[in-house]
Amino acid sequence: MNGNEMLVNTTESKQFDVQDDQSILDAALKSGLVLEYSCKNGQCGVCKATLLKGDVVELQAQLALSDRERNDKKILTCCCAAVTDIEIDAVDLSALHGIEIKTLPARVSQVAYLSDNIVEVKLRLPPTANFQFIEGQYLDVIWNSIRRSYSIASISSEKEITLLIKRFENGQMSDYWFNKILANDLLRIEGPKGTFFLRDADTPLIFLATGTGIAPIKSILHRLEHDPDYQQMHPIAVYWGSRYSEEFVWQANFHKLKVDFYHVLSKPVADWAGETGYVQDNAITNQADFSASAVYACGSNAMIQSAKQKFLASGLPENRFHSDAFVQSF
């Protein structure tokens, strides 16, 4: 049934119809607006917006909202539907306009086990697919009715899509990736999705990753490395954290980019020469002033929430903290 109207106050106000049972985020995406989002299931908080007028109902629990934020009229657009005409304050990411979310067949072309718990999978799409994405985005893989999200580790000019996947104990998709997968298997993908992409290249950049959270960061950095128009004017630092040193499965090797790369072990061993502790603490200790920086954090939700709180307390403007949390699927 036809529902209510939504007014989104972006740089230019935009107005459109929303269906009763449709999340505000989905309605916006369908209308051509791209609001910030990542997990789409209420856990990461990336889609937080301010409800200026009207009423909403929860379609799924807004897990990432605090009581204080609820009182301040914050909503998670992936979790709420409009029950009256509404007006919200949110950012429309025009860089993603025109990038179509597609469902496509994908063949497994290569499988490489980089450690006991990390596999690199390459997927080949049909030659006519014209699959476009911005480096940093993710896609959903669908196999046997199971759907899981994975960040794209390759860049858009490459022929194949590369994923870096961590094994989860008793994980349904982990069982496929680590026990059942065969070259030439046919999967389905849906994407690209998410709004984790580089939008402030002309500032000092700090990237934080835990585990396979390095995947979209690898993609973003390779994009910069291959972009003939990009001239590096500011420092770039990458803090990559892991519990085990054998899970640092990517060796960064740039010719054009100058990147300060820190490997951070949370549980250091006797012969470890790198950093120890948490990535966010290492990054904050290494720099005095974050007022001109931008931070891109990807991986565990615990790291991201802690990093956000610490960086904002250290002077980073809130609109310069971008994240993609690898939260569990429901």
Ligand X SMILES: Cc1cc2nc3c(=O)[nH]c(=O)nc-3n(C[C@H](O)[C@H](O)[C@H](O)COP(=O)(O)OP(=O)(O)OC[C@H]3O[C@@H](n4cnc5c(N)ncnc54)[C@H](O)[C@@H]3O)c2cc1C
Q: In the complex, which residues of this chain contact ligand X (CB under 6 A)?
A: 38-39, 138, 148-151, 164-166, 168, 170-174, 194, 212, 215, 324, 326-329
Q: Which is nearer to ligand FES, 80 or 201 (CB)?
A: 80
Q: Which residues of 198-218 are buried (b: 16+ CB within 10 A; e: fewer)?
A: bbbbeebbbbbbbbbbbbbbb
Count other C-beta atoms under 10 Å from residue 127's C-beta: 7
Residue 275 to residue 126: CA distance in whole angstroms? 43
> Choosing among ligand FES, ligand X, none, which partner's interface includes residue 42 (Cβ < 5 to 8 Å by kind)?
ligand FES
211 binds ligand FES (CB under 6 A): no
Contact between 64 and ligand FES (CB under 6 A)?
yes
Q: Which does 88 bind (CB under 5 to 8 A by kind): ligand X, ligand FES, none?
A: none
CB 209 within 8 A of CB 52: no
Q: Which does 76 bind (CB under 5 to 8 A by kind): ligand X, ligand FES, none?
A: ligand FES
Q: Which does 326 bind (CB under 5 to 8 A by kind): ligand FES, ligand X, none?
A: ligand X
201: contact with ligand FES by CB under 6 A? no
Helices (H), 43-180: 67-71, 172-175
* Residue 78 touches ligand FES, criterion: CB under 6 A: yes
Chain length of the chain: 330
- The option from ligand FES, ligand X, none interacting with 170 (CB < 5 to 8 A, set by class) reads ligand X
CA distances from 176 to 29, 108, 249 (A): 31, 12, 21
**CA distances (Å), 170 to each of 176, 188, 323, in order?**
11, 22, 27
Minimum distance between the CB of residue 83 and ligand X, rounded to whole angstroms?
28
Residue 196 CB, shortest distance to ligand X, in Å, is 8
Residues 10-39 that bind ligand FES (CB under 6 A): 37-39
- State the binding partner of 172 from ligand X, ligand FES, none, CB within 5 to 8 A by kind: ligand X
User: Min. distance of Cβ 317 from ligand X in angstroms?
Assistant: 24
Does 56 participate in binding ligand FES (rule CB under 6 A)? no
CA 21 → CA 35, 39, 60, 83, 298, distances in Å?
Answer: 18, 19, 11, 9, 31
CA distances from 118 to 49, 77, 121, 263 (A): 35, 33, 10, 17
Which residue among 8, 33, 34, 45 contacts ligand FES (CB under 6 A)? 45
Per the CB < 8 A criterion, the answer to whether 82 and 24 are in contact is yes
DSSP secondary structure letter of residue 59? S
- What is the contact surface with ligand FES in residues (CB under 6 A)? 37-40, 42-47, 64, 76, 78
